A and B are shown apart, each in its own frame.
Chain A
Amino acid sequence: MIAKTSDEDLQRPAASSQDGLAAAGAVALELSAITVRFGGIVALSDVSFGVGTGESVGLIGPNGAGKTTLLDVAAGVRRPQAGTVRLHGASITGASVVRRSRLGVARTFQQLSLFDGMTVREHVMLGYLASRAKEMPLRGFLSRRASIERAARKDDSPLSPTALMDRLGLESVADQLAGEQSVGVVRMVDLARALASRPRVLLLDEPVSGLSETEAEDVGRVLLSLRADHELAMLVVEHNLEFARLVSDRIVALDFGELIAAGTPDEVLASADLRRAYFGADAEEEAAIEGLDPPDAERESPVVRDGGGMET
């Protein structure tokens, strides 16, 4: 089990907070005492944990637990009311999404979003260009696209667009519109786009949602090999507990915005707190959690409206 980061830890220099991360080397991403409220609803309450370099951490919990909110906080989409986000020891709490991406935080999306009118290759190329932009004058704004793309095709590094598309099985559909591909292919496109930006931290939001069991296993294998090859720190939000077990060195479980368990996959999946979160108070009498996926909608997630209806 991994202890939550204490207040004392937060006062210490970032390097020393590695002490709390048994499995990891240097801490790549550290979330400390994160609190997020939506009006009166507390979506995250004082959540702290870290992801080490070359480590994969699974983030699980029932619907409405706060998993995606936490991922949004890590990616910079949402600012926490309290708490700190650190990337390799430096605070990035106030940094924008763009800034974090340029610092090496990449993410994929649960709800597949694509650039309409762009091919698979262009999606991957965009990630690649983002990683190369700082080497170009004016971040490449006035550089000729065709010449950069030609250079990219000659790039033989493992995270080059060509290598990534080859590794993720996208080469055959590279010049087709991404929006016309199957869900499985689009998930791979999203992953390739994120990886092409050569991230130090990869945030994955339900990467196998909508995929078959075989496809999910394939994605798992690819993620594990990438993590091993590139020393990636990965934070994987996942509903599929089997998949979370497969790709995670450690698992962190949330419920109602609170961290209820953290540790190795076996420890967390066997914990009573997690069973209670998924199956209610009579969890001890329920079948063993091992091998079971939680039902899709155990409870309503807190709804935050965006000015939809009408008032008199």
Chain B
Amino acid sequence: MHFFDFYIVPGLVIGCIYAIAASGLVMAYSTSGVLNIGYGSVAYTVALIFYEIRSNHNLLGGWPSLLLCVLVIGPALGIFLWQALFRWLVRLGLIATLIASIGITIALPALCELVFNPGSIFYSPGVVESGTNLHKIGSIVFSTDQAYAVGAAVVVAAGLFYLLRFTATGLRMRAVFDSRSVASLTGTSPALASNLSWAISGGLAAVGGIFLAPVLALSSSAFLTLTVASLAAALVGGLRSIAVTFVAALAIGVASSAITGLDANNTLLSTGIQPSFPFLVMVAAVFLRRNSIDVGGTPRRTFELPERFDALPSWLAKVAPAVVLVALAPLVLNSYWTGVVGLGLIYGVIFLGFTIALGFGGILPLGQTAIVGIGAFTAGDLALSNHVPLLMALVIGALLASAVAGVLAFVGGRLNALEFGLLTLAFGLFADNFLYNWTVLVPLQGVTFASPVFLGLHIVSATAQYYLFGIVLALALLLVAWYRRRLGAFYVNAGRMQPALAAATGVNPRTGRVVAFALAGFIAAIGGGLLAIYQRDLQPTDLVTPTGLVWLAVVVFMGIRSPAAAFVGGLVYAVFPALLSTWLPISWGPLATVLFGLGALTLAQNPRGAVEAQKVQIAWLASMFRKLLTRVRTA
């Protein structure tokens, strides 16, 4: 009984909350084709609003606050996201909506932090005041909060079953789920059904968030776990069966908790495997799916520009101004700003990894920080423990990271872009929770990085390190330019655009993916090593998956297929927060993250990115200027 009471029952409670959230995820996906991985952030936002209304400001009691959040705020947020964002992105395919949902994952919690400044909330009360009171039925001891969570799951399950089985609205929604076009021929409005399902999805996010907060914690990281667990359950349910999703979510909750119970000595099994369990389920669900997740057609004339290469003189003319600016910057900047711009150069190297993986290879690298971390920690360990020269250790670490990336790409070779993205996400979260907690790989205190030595020169000062970072970035850009001119890149591009057509032409998309992801991993890991040199040490918390999602959002915002955009993105990512911290109060710190997240949401307007859009505008201005000059001369 001890095991059941202490581990199965709490697991069941968490599973109930996962089930509520997962149902909302499936509802939104089924009607609109949007897999919203920002779902946890929506739940977090509403839960935080509930906390502010009910506890922090005491504006309303528990039940009125719950009704307000579940019936008004949650649904309104759901409809807003659909109407203002996702319905415009759906035409760009599932990957575009997924990237936008990453923007939400980043922007919403940062926005909440900016607006509410919640700090660390140790306990967020639920609907009733006496939430922590304990009750006993037989040998089972449970809190009021836990009882309400289970009750909420039962109500949601019964409500959804009734809605979809016994009501005309449910019938219409199911018709739209099956075929939007046929449903509209029978007088059903697909738009109305989508709005309704996003409203319900928002409401369910609210329920999940409000009941999760007192049981687990009211923090964005806890809600990321909610997203992953519900996503795993939704994948087990084939992204269509709410019943299977519900059961899978319960099973994930129970199994995660049971693992802790099995490991009485609190070893790696409970500290590492237990939090990673939903990710392992996600990987299993992705691999065991009989049919691929439909990612929609490739959008025409939106992302794609023909791959064109300038002749060497023309290329030099283009890059020369940037090279001169970068080279001269330390002469005009003080050491602080030299360091900041140097950090931007490092991020430029890291971001090139995204450009190669997603921009050229069509691989969604949602767990890129794990690859970067493997390279950087290996380099640090080699240099510190084995006295390998740091720059050489950096290359060895990057080669190892590249090999891991290659193996990951090979293993996930038959998955489509979205499924592979989920695989990398699971790998990233697994690294966060398991690899980084394994002291054999990463010491508890992190890894210290000494200053690098090159040809007997100690590269210590900010300026010297700046030039080191600049040279590495230049080499990385040259490597990318070399790669783009190889036939391999041509094949990879073909495999990214149309895997079936490429295969029918004798091009193996799997090989292309392995090469692209391995190269991306190598370059990004070199960047990770430079980051560690810049910081002088590297902690496991420096390279966690949410950080990688912010990086991805920045690169997508700037332009995912352009190495120049990666360079600019790196500079913006480093310089913009530094500018904000210089000019604005410290409480405005999250503003940069909010804007980076919102940047990814502009994908619908600028699928080619901000840098490309600026180039177009500058070209337009230049042509207008030329026309004006011609007129003046004629006059």
Contact = CB atoms under 8 A, between A and B. Distances in A.
Interface of A: 75, 77, 96-98, 101-102, 106-107, 109, 113-119, 122, 126-127, 129-131, 133, 136, 140-146, 148, 177, 179, 193-194, 197, 306-312
Contact of B306 (A130, A177, A194): A177
Interface string B153-196: 00000001100110000000110011100000000000000000
B291 A307 contact: yes
23 contacts: A97-B503, A98-B503, A98-B508, A109-B504, A115-B497, A116-B303, A117-B307, A117-B497, A118-B494, A122-B306, A122-B490, A131-B506, A141-B487, A141-B491, A142-B487, A144-B485, A145-B490, A197-B506, A309-B240, A310-B27, A310-B30, A310-B240, A312-B164
Contacts of B292: 306
B505 A311 contact: no
Interface stretch (B1-9, B293-301, B613-621): B293-301
A101 B505 contact: yes
B174 A119 contact: no
B204 to A, nearest CB: 14
B249 interface: no
A116 B487 contact: no
A96 B489 CA distance: 22
Contact of B300 (A75, A118, A145, A179): A179
Contacts of B490: 122, 126, 129, 145
A270 B490 CA distance: 49
B523 interface: no
B472 interface: no
B515 interface: yes
B487 A145 contact: yes
Contact of B497 (A109, A118, A133, A148): A118
A107 B242 contact: no
B263 interface: no
A113 B498 contact: yes
Given A141-B515, A145-B487, A146-B485, A75 B240 contact: no
A70 B298 CA distance: 26
- Which 8 residue pairs across A and B have the least CB separation, nearest first? A117-B304, A130-B506, A141-B488, A310-B30, A101-B506, A309-B178, A116-B304, A310-B177
Contact of B501 (A96, A115, A142, A309): A115
Q: Which of B242, B493, B515 has the most CB of A within 10 A?
A: B493
A131 B505 CA distance: 9
A118 B511 CA distance: 20
A101 B503 CA distance: 8
B238 A312 contact: no
B486 A308 contact: no
Given A116-B497, A177-B306, A133 B506 contact: yes
A109 B178 CA distance: 27
Contacts of A142: 486-488
A58 B294 CA distance: 32
Contacts of B259: none
A97 B509 CA distance: 11
A145 B486 CA distance: 5
Contacts of A126: 490, 494, 502, 505, 507
A79 B490 CA distance: 29
A131 to B, nearest CB: 7
B522 to A, nearest CB: 15
Contacts of A308: 177-179, 240, 294
A98 B507 contact: yes
B497 A77 contact: no
Nearest to A96: B503
Given A101-B503, A146-B309, A309-B240, 18 more contacts: A77-B500, A96-B503, A97-B500, A106-B504, A118-B494, A126-B490, A129-B490, A142-B487, A143-B487, A144-B485, A145-B486, A146-B485, A179-B300, A307-B294, A309-B174, A310-B177, A311-B242, A312-B160
Nearest to A134: B506
A116 B301 contact: yes
B239 interface: yes
Given A75-B504, A193-B505, A140 B240 contact: no
A136 B487 CA distance: 11
B410 to A, nearest CB: 15
Q: Which of A97, A107, A306 has the most CB of B within 10 A?
A: A97
Given A117-B304, A142-B488, A144-B486, A311 B240 contact: yes
A312 B242 contact: yes
Nearest to B506: A130
B243 A311 contact: yes
Contacts of A75: 504
A35 B497 CA distance: 32
A115 B494 contact: yes
Interface in B228-281: 238-244
B355 to A, nearest CB: 15
A311 B493 CA distance: 37
B440 interface: no
B399 interface: no
B317 interface: no
Contacts of A119: 306
Given A118-B497, A308-B177, A312-B161, A140 B503 contact: no
B632 interface: no
A115 B504 CA distance: 13
B26 interface: yes
Q: Which of B300, B489, B502, B507 has the most CB of A within 10 A?
A: B507
A17 to B, nearest CB: 26
B319 to A, nearest CB: 19
A180 B506 CA distance: 24
Nearest to A127: B505
A145 B243 CA distance: 52
A101 B298 contact: no
B455 interface: no
B5 to A, nearest CB: 32
B623 to A, nearest CB: 22
Q: Which of B164, B292, B486 has the most CB of A within 10 A?
A: B486
Contacts of B303: 116-117
Given A310-B177, A310-B242, A116 B501 contact: no
Contacts of B332: none
B328 interface: no
Contact of B487 (A101, A127, A129, A310): A129
A306 B238 CA distance: 10
Contacts of A130: 505-507
A208 B503 CA distance: 23
A302 to B, nearest CB: 16
Contact of A141 (B173, B241, B486): B486
Contact of A309 (B177, B487, B503): B177
Contacts of A106: 504-505
Contacts of B298: 116
Contacts of B502: 115, 126
A303 to B, nearest CB: 10
B305 interface: yes
A306 B497 contact: no
Contacts of B177: 308-310
B503 A307 contact: no
Nearest to A115: B497
A53 B290 CA distance: 37
Given A141-B515, A306-B294, A117 B501 contact: no
